[in-house]
Each structure stands twice: as structure tokens, then as C-alpha cells.
Chain A
Amino acid sequence: MRHTFRQAFSSGKFVTGFVILMGLLLLVILYPLIFRAPPLQIIAQGTFFPPGIYVSAYDSINAPTTYTLNLDGAAAKRVAAKLKDEDRVAMKEWLVVAGVPEDQIDISDAQKLLTLWAENYDPAKQVKGMTLARQRYFQRVNNAIQGLLSTEGAIIAVRQPESGALQEAGAVKQTDYVNISEVPNVRILPLGTDNFGRDVFAQLVRAIGVSLLIGIVAGLIATGIGLVLGLLAGYVGGAVDDVINFITNIFLVIPSLVLLILISFSVGQESRGAFTVAVVIGVTSWVWTTRAVRAQVISLRNRDHVNLSKLSGHSLFRIIRGDILPYIMSYVFMALILQISAAILAEANLSILGLGPRTTDVPTLGLMMQWAMIYQAHILGKWWAYFPVLISITLITFSMNLMITGLDQVFNPQLRN
């Protein structure tokens, strides 16, 4: 056994796959220990907040100390953030229509452009051929750039509870900065929020864990059934073999997705937890293992050492355990890994069809994908809602396939090279 492991770890492909998988596992285990927030809690009001560091605006105004930093280009950045390039082009267009000679307008010089705009823009002016939507757009641009070049700070006012009058409570200068570590409420959302307003990254980490678990449970069930049936069919032979082979041949051709759909739908939404889904996937995907184990056992059945055991009167169980299993264990292990990755994919497929685990208690990779698709994250360009999920699924299956390929090369010397 130790020799087998050493051999497996001498394969570069196996090690690469193993490292990727362990990395994912570590993330799944460590992340919840550090960030304890429940992954399915709805924190955002609204859908699909982009990834980033969210700093409480209220707390940063009220930060204990404000620091004055005189940074070059701060004003230019401020203008750039509000005045996008396409806005500048649009402004130039309007100004040309308003009669300003085109060569006098330089859109790279924000200051000049804004002064020209302030002198010439008139929201009431009707431009021939301009749609109402376009007019509104210019009004919005105009509002957005109001006071953009002023060097004054902003005043913070509080409402007097009795009179309702505003009273100055403080001022924020343009050169005021706060240290982010002094702001009490900062939330990092590495992958933003999803359609329900939940932290995508926290959810993803949990989903990888749950999906891996589903894969392992389904894989163990499928490999277990496949191993037992394959051993029976291959070793016992006769009528047992005929029956098992008959069943296997039938289920080999019927698409397993069809069986999955039929069973999952019949089980019903309410009783379809992650575990049930794993079991359903497991009991519908043993066919390949059965077939392969049977073929291998048949080739082993008449070897000399097996015959010798038979002559010595060893029991069926002992022969299988001692003389047959050791020869097919490496294959069974590869089949297990393959089943796990196939089960993770099957869960994802089922979830996209709307037959995944019920949605209230745990996230899975498939469910995250399903919600992203239902809320059209892919069409709206909210990549953080679906792309990391795809990457995770691909990484898991990729790492497992690498491990299998590596093992295959270790155990089948003919494939080396």
C-alpha cells in the first residue's frame, strides 16, 4: 500500500491534481474559521453589487481622526471619476451644436471643457433631432458635474429634532482622508454579492465544500454498488452474472440524466436535501464501474493464485479480499475519483434544470449557477456571480482528472511516454 502511494506521488500529474484539490479543501476548511459570517445571510439591499471593499460612508465621515494629505492629481482623479470619456465626447457634441467652434474644444482638458459647458449649456434649449432620452442624459451629466471643480469641502449637517432646521455639524475638506483601519465598518466582498444580496465568495467557499461532499457521498455509493455487483458478476458468474450483465447493459444506454430527472422530480422539492440528491446521483451512476470491475475480475478469475486459494478451501469472501481485490484496487480508486467528479457535474446539471437540492439551507455550485442564470447574470455582465462558480467546477474536475491520468500512467506502464 505504501509503495503504491509512493508510486502515485512520483507522477507529476497526480501531484498537480492533488495539490489543486488540497488547496480547495484547505480554503473550504479554513475560510469559515476566519470569517464566521453565515454564508447564506442576505446582507445587501439590491442585486449584484460588484466585488470590492465596502467602507461605511457614515463611519468614514465620523472617523475619530481625519488626516490631511496633499496629493498631486487628486482633483483630476475626482473629475475623471465623475466625468467619463464618453461623457466628454457627448459634451463636445452638444457644444458644437450650440455653436462653439469645434477647434476650441479640447476634451482632454477637463477644466476648459467644464468652463465652456458652464457658459453654454442651457437645459431648456431644444436641439433639433435630439430625443427626449438624450436631453435627459445631458441634464444628468450637467447635474453630475455641478461643482466638480470647486475647491470647497462639503458641509455635514444634522437635522434639529425640534425645529427640523439643519445645523452644521462638521465639514469635510477635499484634502481630508481617513485611515481605513480606523473605520469601524468595512466589509470586503471579494466577489461582490449575488442576486439575493448574499456574499458570493463566502457562499462559493461553502458551495465547494457541499458539492465536494455530494460528490464523495455519491461517488462512494456508486463505487460501492459497482464494486459489489462487478465482483459478484465476475467471480460468481453463471446466472448471477447473466442477471447483472443484463441490468448493466440496459442502464448503460439509458441516459443517467433521464433517471436522475425522473427520480429527483418524484422525490419532490421538500424532501430533496443535499444528501438525498447525492444518494440519487449515487444510485444512478454505478453502471460503468460494474462493467469495468466485472471485466477485470473475469480476467483474474482463472489465474493460478486464485485457483490455488480455491483448492485450499478458502471462503468466497477470503478469496475476493485476498486474491482479487488487491489487483483491482488501483482501478477502483481511479473509478471513485471519476465518480466524484462526475457526481459534482451531475448535481450542477440537475440544479440548472431546477431539480437540485432545496434552496434554503445550503448552497451548492449547481444552485449558485442556477440562480445566476435565472437572474441573467451572464447577460447583464455580472461575471462575479457565475464565472467563479464555473472556474471552481472546472478546477475540481480538472484536478481529479489529472489525478486519474497520473494514476493511470503509474499503473498502466504502456501509457507512459
Chain B
Amino acid sequence: MKGYRRYFLNKAGWFVITLIAAFLLNFFLPRMMPGDPVAAIVARQAQGMSNSTGVQAIYEQYTKLFGTDKPLFQQFFIYMGNVLRGDFGYSFSQYPRTVAEVLSASLWWTVVLQFPAIIFGWVVGNSLGAIAAYRKGGLDKVAMPISILISNLPAFGMAVILLVVFAATLKWLPASGGYAFDMIPSLSVNFLGSALLHYILPFASIVLLAIGGQAIGMRSMAIYELNADYVRYSRFMGIKDNQISRYVFRNAMLPQITGLALAIGTMIGGALVAEIIFSYPGLGTVLLTAISGRDYPLISAVTLIITIMALIANFAIEILYGFIDPRIKAAQSD
């Protein structure tokens, strides 16, 4: 276990560093932009107001609200303290709800939708890719062009197509929302059934995309491995094909896991946009309303949460990878 500890500490260190960097970016990026963000917000809020003292009053109130009258580093510490206490301030567009309230209502929808979908799509995609590489014949010729085409669809495109086919045309499944509009979230059977029905299409759109992309990667990885010397050597040694394919699969799997760790951020981003198409009550839809409502505190909180989600997912995958790849142990213990 000693070798692992160094690996995990290293990964944990990177997790903390990236978290801090993400936090800094989230705070400083908007503030590094030319122009006064508060002035811009006030200009939007006060559109059509001719009373200049009124505009001035609004401006002063906002600078106080945001604390922009204080020096930047002081602002940063106040912001950090607030965020650590879970206080993101009030939402502009959904006042008097606080940002924390809005987020806590939507975060779980996203988590429950995206992570199972991405993992499921990844597993199925990799299995298909490996089978395609191994069998070559008919399956490979049919399945590969289809997955190439699917993986080239933008995330929202898959969502739109599923929506049009299964919700708007066939009317098998609901087109939008996370549950029937006449229901109140609760733990009743009715509500869960409705939520499940609304879950299918967004889930399928994320899964299908993940399958397409992963299958292609896995297929070329596995073909690469199948041509490796150790495979030929094993064949000469008379090892059974089943055993060899297990070696190949395992070796081809490793880069796919790293690939997942690196792609998870992009996948979450794409899935957020897919959520918007289905008006799913998760973070994607919140982000859309925040942007259209120019709700600054909400946007920055949502982007922070998304980043943290991606970081945690990435960290979890890397920890898992540490257990799976024997080279990690070997590299760390010498």
C-alpha cells in the first residue's frame, strides 16, 4: 500500500491545486475583463431610465451589494468566506430566492442524470468497441460507421432528434421537464414514476453520445493492442484466444480510463446543453435562465459547481485508475 499512498497524495495535491485555480479563475476572470462589471449590470437594469440620480443610486447600491467598493484582494477573501459557508448571495432573476436555494433544488437532478448516463455509456461503448475490434466482420462494418456518425452529432443534436422522434412525433415519452408539471416533488410513487418517465430521453441522449465516442476509441485501442508483439507471442505459446482477448481488453482499457478522466469535463458540458433541450430541471437549465436573466451571482455559482463536479469526477477516476494499473504501483514504489 505504501506505493499507492504517494500516488494518491500526488493526485489529491493536484485536486486541491486545481480546485484553488478554478476558484481563482471563477473570481478573477470576470473581474479582469475591461470595464466595470457593476456598471454593465446597472446599465442593463436601468435600461430606459432617464433619471441620472436614480441610476447613480442603483449603481451605489450594487457596489455595496457586491462589495466592489473595497479593494480586490479584500473582496476575494469576503467572497471565499461566503462561499465556504455556502452563501452565494441572492439570485437576481429569481429574487428573493438565494443562489444556494436555486442550486440545491437543481444540483441533484444533474448529478442523478449525468453520472449514471456517462458511466453506463462508457461501459457499453467500450464493450462494443472491443467486440467490433475482435470480430471485425459484419458487426464492425455496420456498427463503426454508425457510431462515427453518432459521435459527430453535437450533444444537443442527439437530444433534439430523440425529442422529435420519441416525444413530439411518436408521443411515447414526455418532451420536457423533470416530472409532470402538475406535480410537486415528493417521494410518492406517482412522482417517482413521472420522474422516471421524464428521465429516459435525456439519459438516452447522453448515453448514446458516450457510446459512439467511446466505441471508436476502444476499437482503435484494441486493434492497436491486437497487433502487439505480446499477442503474437501468446498465440505461438498456444494460449487460448479467450485468455488473449482478456489481456488485450485489459491493456486497451487503461488509456480509455485516462481518456474518461480527461473527457469528463467536456462530457458534462455537452450534457448540460442536452439538459437545456429537454428543459430538465438541472444545472443546465438554471444556467440558461441565469444567462438570459443576466443573473450574475447565479452564473458564477453554477460554473463553480460544474467545475467542482468535473474535478471530483476526475479525481475519483484517477484514484480508481491507481488501483487498476499495476504500473502505477511499480512506478511509485521504487
Contacts and interface: CB of A to CB of B under 8 A. Distances in A.
Interface of A: 249-250, 252-259, 261-263, 265-268, 345, 348-349, 352-355, 369, 373, 378-379, 381, 383, 386, 390, 393-394, 397-398, 401-402, 414-415, 417
Contact of B220 (A249, A252, A415): A415
A414 B227 contact: yes
B268 interface: yes
B233 to A, nearest CB: 17
Contacts of B160: 373, 378, 386, 390
A265 B30 contact: yes
Specify the main secondary structure of chain B where it touches its partner.
helix
B149 to A, nearest CB: 6
Interface string B142-162: 000000110111111100110
Given A265-B30, A352-B156, A354-B291, A258 B18 contact: no
Given A255-B266, A265-B30, A383-B164, A353 B276 contact: yes
A366 to B, nearest CB: 9
B223 A417 contact: yes
Given A262-B30, A386-B160, A390-B160, A255 B292 contact: no
Contacts of A417: 223, 227
B33 A267 contact: yes
B26 interface: yes
Interface string B230-274: 000000000000000000000000000000001001101110110
A267 B21 CA distance: 21
A54 to B, nearest CB: 26
Interface of B: 14, 17-18, 21-22, 25-26, 29-30, 33, 35, 37, 40, 148-149, 151-157, 160-161, 163-164, 167-169, 175, 220, 223-224, 227, 262, 265-266, 268-270, 272-273, 276-277, 287-288, 291-292, 296, 299-300, 303, 306-307, 310-311, 314
Given A265-B299, A394-B152, A257 B163 contact: no
A263 B156 CA distance: 22
9 contacts: A254-B265, A254-B311, A256-B265, A257-B265, A257-B306, A261-B299, A349-B269, A379-B167, A390-B154
Contacts of B306: 255, 257-258
A257 B266 contact: yes
Contact of A261 (B168, B227, B287): B287
Contacts of A345: 154
Nearest to B289: A354
Contacts of B311: 253-254
Given A265-B291, A345-B154, A258 B303 contact: yes
B272 A257 contact: yes
A322 B323 CA distance: 43
A379 to B, nearest CB: 5
A414 B224 contact: yes
Contact of B21 (A254, A369, A390, A402): A254
Contacts of A386: 160
B174 to A, nearest CB: 11
Given A261-B287, A262-B299, A393-B157, 19 more contacts: A253-B314, A254-B310, A255-B268, A259-B25, A261-B299, A266-B30, A266-B33, A348-B156, A353-B273, A353-B287, A373-B276, A379-B163, A390-B161, A393-B153, A394-B157, A398-B149, A401-B148, A401-B152, A415-B220
Contact of B148 (A263, A353, A398): A398
A390 B150 CA distance: 12
B29 A348 contact: no
A373 B154 CA distance: 15
A168 B149 CA distance: 61
Contacts of B266: 255-257
B276 A352 contact: yes
A414 B272 CA distance: 37
A355 B290 CA distance: 11
A252 B25 CA distance: 14
Contacts of A381: 164, 168-169
